[in-house]
Amino acid sequence: MGLCENMRVWRRQGGAAAFRDVVGVMLLLLMGLGSAQSVPPQAACQGAAAPQNLSQPEYEETAKEDTGVGFMAPLVQSFLHTIQPNPFPADLILKFIRSFNEAVSDQEIIKETLVYEVGFLVCIAIGALYIVLMPIVGFFLACCRCCGNCGGKMYQKQTSAIHCRRRTLYWSAFVTTIIILAGNICMFRSNEALKVSVDQSPVELSNAISNINTFLTIVPQQVDSVVNESYRTVDEVTENLQAIGPLLGKEIQGRFRGTLDPALQSVKLLDHETVNTSVQLNNLNSSLDQLQSSMDLIQANVTAVRNHIDQTLSKPECIQCDKLRPELQKLTVDTTVSIPSLNEFQSAVDEVIKADLQSQIDEVEDYFQSIPQRVTNETKDVVQRSKQLLDDIKTQISQVTSDIPLSGLTDVKENLNQLQSDINGAMPHVEKAEDIRWAVGVALCCLILLVVVCNLLGLILGPMGLSPKADPTKRSCTADCGGTFLMMGAGISFLFSWLLMIVVLVLFFVGGNSYTLICQSWSDGQLLKFLDTPGLYPGLELGPTLGLKTDINISDVYKDCEENQPLWTTLHLYEVVNLEELLNVSKYTEQIHQQFENTNITLSSITLLSAEVKNKLSSFSTKAEDFDTTAVTQQMNNISSINLNSTADKLDMLAADQTNAEIQTGLQNDARVLRQIQADIETTIIPQLENLNSTIKILQSTAEKINGTVGEVLSKVGAAQDFLNTNTTQIVKTESRQFLDCQLEYFITYADWANLTITQEVGRCEPVARAVDSAETILCAYMVESLNAFWFSLGWCMIFFIPSIIFSIKLAKYYRRMKDSDVFENHIIMNHIPRAQMKFT
């Protein structure tokens, strides 16, 4: 009964009424049980196909959070969390959305906005100070050096600590340059990551839109699948009703066969034994006739010999012949071979043969073989009406899709298709703009790299060409070139750093607020809760749109879709359609019982064996029991005991005493004839007696069984007849009820399956949540994180430009060729010690 699993999609009262009517008609068609208890569907419930599982589509892979900016993302996010620790400003944004012009002029709102953005404002103020001071400081430094101040005078005083200072400045400049180089590398990487993100975003968006389109396409198909399954249920029941004769008739036949077949089989066996008995009786009669004919011939021959012997013994010349006369009186053959009860037994067998038991069996078989056709004929009209009602149900079911609000899916698909078209149309412009942005980013990265290269060349060439003990005015060109590169790096830093800081501030404000206001709130669910604000956007109020009693929050929908919940629970469709009430078949049961009370499938009664046939069988059994072969056995024993040879021997002995040759010859001839007759008896009569005896034994054995066989037949036939007389009506009712319950179970099981499918399988909306996650990944993980990593890396470089400028300018003087020299001498004051003088006298 797999087909029975499909009906809960019938939601309209019209569909329920049609369902009720067709079930009622089917019950009227098949049953008349009244208050009889239902029986579980059995073998009549056949051919039901299991409902097909709903097809689940294949979805495209969605965007994964792998931006390629490495450790920069958490570092930037940590920085942004530090400068913007405030929660999501839902109320403030609502004020701007609902009345932007008034919010812009409202001082309180402006103050609230500035307080919220205070972290960004402080950073922007620092950046603005950088932008203002950097070119001013550079200008005054340049003017000061041109005037020979601030290290502009090409003179370097030589002291004892000069080498220590040079090394300190060298390693400070080197470390600063490496830090700037690291930031520059991050700039290149984040710039490339942003390009890759922008290039991949259309593909990822297309996949997300395609997944949603697939989801929107499969939902109506799944609903249609449930409806089509109901069509299969209706068609299956229609086919079962069309084949009601073979299906129900076969079940009715099966219930009768258990009792009827043993009875019919016993009658068949009795018929076979009766025919066999008749054949054996014919064989017996033939053997008796043959034996009687032979015995008559023997008797004639014996009589002729006896008469001749009597004539011979009567002659006067016969010596001592009178003593043979007693023997001559014994010379006779009992030719009477008969069975007294054979004729009565034969008559009883003939009566049973005339009754033609096989025709009785065939009549019963034909009757029961006609049951399917009887069922078909008696239910023809009501089946036709039921089929019409089933067609009406199918028409009603086709309207079920209107109960589930699926029409809006078409509009959404059209909007998505338009969005996809807009994305495809904008792609050339986006690609062109991205190429320009990427080129500008590369130029900015190269500008920073130029400063790094100048610093590195200065740090390499300066020490390479420097001779610490050489006169500063005589330093090598290599060392002088290294100092020049350091000054170039500082000059480029002064020249472009303030412009780069402008880029940092703009990208910082845009990217930072994009992360804090959109990405962060999107990630922690605050953005979706904000979209749930009543009245924010009329189109987002799903509850009134779907006609629900309660409102549906977008955040709740997203949460359910993350758990891959069906649309039934996600959109609260149970508030629109009450499947349980609509498909509650039990409420129609009482009305159905009232409709089929006066409807029955009736089978006319049949008599297995008539009373006359039963009497003949009883007579047959009695005659078989009375069949006695004792007399014929005795007769056969008498015949087999005949011995003419003894009489012949006595004749020979008497002949030997005779003097008269004629008498002697006559007696000898009579003795020879008697021996010949005895030989004929042994060669002819004895085999016939043996054959007759064998036939009698077989017939007697058969006759002994007949009594038990007839008794078994009468017992089984009587039981079967009583079963038919008392249970036929109830069997028809029970099997009809089982058949109908099966058809009803088709719809009940289908209703359970449809209810389970619609409430738990149709429209599992995980693709929608995945599409939203893809949009978040594309916007935040791809673009915003890459953009934030770029300005953070650029700002990183701008900050370290300051120490780089300081260290580079100070270090350059240790490598550049000076115009004025200064010699450091280690003077030791020598005091003259007077020598002793000797005086000579």
**Full DSSP string of 671-709:** HHHHHHHHHHIIIIIHHHHHHHHHHHHHHHHHHHHHHHH
Question: Is 746 or 115 the better-scoring residue by pLDDT?
Answer: 115
Whole-Å CA distances, 682 to 222, 639, 677, 685, 694: 99, 10, 9, 6, 17
pLDDT at 398: 65
Q: In the predicted model, what is the mean pLDDT of the chain? A: 75
Q: Which residues contact 94 (CB under 8 A, 6 or more apart)?
A: 533, 536
Q: Which residues contact 611 (CB under 8 A, 6 or more apart)?
A: none
Report which DSSP code applies to 469.
T
Whole-Å CA distances, 652 to 53, 305, 311, 500, 663: 112, 14, 16, 169, 11
- C-alpha–C-alpha distance, residues 421 and 413, integer Å: 12
Instruction: Give the pair of three-digit tokens for residue 758.
Output: 């619609």
pLDDT at 129: 94
Residue 155 backbone phi and psi in degrees, to 5: -140, 135
What per-residue string of b and e applies to 325-339 under the rule 16 or more CB within 10 Å gives b?
eeebeebebebebeb
Question: Is 121 or 259 the better-scoring residue by pLDDT?
Answer: 121
What is the band of 821 on the pLDDT scale with cuts at 50, 70, 90?
low
Segment 659-679, tens digit of pLDDT: 788 888 888 888 888 888 888
pLDDT at 434: 86
- C-alpha–C-alpha distance, residues 785 and 471, integer Å: 54
> Would you say 382 and 29 are in contact if contact means Cβ atoms under 8 Å apart?
yes
Segment 364-407, tens digit of pLDDT: 777 777 777 777 776 666 666 666 666 766 666 666 666 666 66
Question: Is 416 or 524 the better-scoring residue by pLDDT?
Answer: 524
- C-alpha–C-alpha distance, residues 600 and 29, integer Å: 8
> Would you say 370 and 340 are in contact if contact means Cβ atoms under 8 Å apart?
no
pLDDT at 67: 53
- C-alpha–C-alpha distance, residues 791 and 80, integer Å: 12
pLDDT at 121: 92
**pLDDT-above-70 percentage for the chain:** 74
Segment 614-625, tens digit of pLDDT: 777 777 777 776
Region 51-79: mean pLDDT is: 71
Other CB atoms within a 10 A radius of the CB of residue 557 amount to 22
Segment 527-583, tens digit of pLDDT: 888 887 766 665 556 666 666 667 777 888 888 888 888 888 887 777 777 666 665
pLDDT at 390: 66
Alpha helices in 63-161 (DSSP H): 72-83, 90-98, 100-105, 107-116, 118-146
Beta-carbon-side half-sphere exposure of residue 287 (alpha carbons within 13 Å): 24
Segment 210-246, tens digit of pLDDT: 888 888 888 877 777 777 777 777 777 777 777 777 7
Report which DSSP code applies to 280.
H
CA angle 505/511/513 to nearest 5° reads 95
What is the band of 499 on the pLDDT scale with cuts at 50, 70, 90?
very high
Specify the DSSP element, H or E, that contains 587. none
Question: Residue 40 pLDDT more than 50?
Answer: no
> Would you say 740 and 382 are in contact if contact means Cβ atoms under 8 Å apart?
no
* Amino acid at position 203, single letter: V
Question: Residue 586 pLDDT more than 60?
Answer: no
- C-alpha–C-alpha distance, residues 102 and 741, integer Å: 72
Instruction: Give the pair of three-digit tokens for residue 387.
Output: 């089929």
Question: What torsion do the CA atoms of 123, 128, 133, 134 make, to the nearest 10 degrees?
Answer: 80
Question: Residue 429 pLDDT more than 90?
Answer: no
The residues that bridge with 155 in the sheet, in sequence order, are 820
pLDDT at 823: 53
pLDDT at 506: 94
Region 255-283: mean pLDDT is: 77
Beta-carbon-side half-sphere exposure of residue 629 (alpha carbons within 13 Å): 19
Instruction: Give the pair of three-digit tokens for residue 575.
Output: 């508030």
Question: Is 173 or 292 the better-scoring residue by pLDDT?
Answer: 173
What is the band of 345 on the pLDDT scale with cuts at 50, 70, 90?
confident
Question: Is 65 or 485 the better-scoring residue by pLDDT?
Answer: 485
Segment 451-490, tens digit of pLDDT: 999 999 988 988 887 776 666 676 778 888 988 898 899 8
Question: Residue 65 pLDDT more than 80?
Answer: no
The residue among 20, 112, 294, 697 whose CA lies nearest residue 104 is: 112
- C-alpha–C-alpha distance, residues 200 and 743, integer Å: 57
Whole-Å CA distances, 36 to 26, 43, 486, 734, 794: 16, 20, 109, 8, 90
Specify the DSSP element, H or E, that contains 67. none
Beta-carbon-side half-sphere exposure of residue 98 (alpha carbons within 13 Å): 12
> Would you say 3 and 746 are in contact if contact means Cβ atoms under 8 Å apart?
yes
**pLDDT-above-90 percentage for the chain:** 10
Segment 773-793, tens digit of pLDDT: 888 888 888 888 889 999 999
What's the helix, strand, coil split of the chain in %, to 5?
A: 75, 0, 25
Instruction: Give the pair of three-digit tokens for residue 319.
Output: 């010596």
Question: Residue 689 pLDDT more than 60?
Answer: yes
Question: If 0-12 CB within 10 Å is exposed, 13-18 middle and 19+ buried, where does residue 140 land?
Answer: exposed
Domain ranges of the chain: 72-202+429-542+768-812
Question: Residue 11 pLDDT more than 60?
Answer: no
- C-alpha–C-alpha distance, residues 341 and 622, integer Å: 11
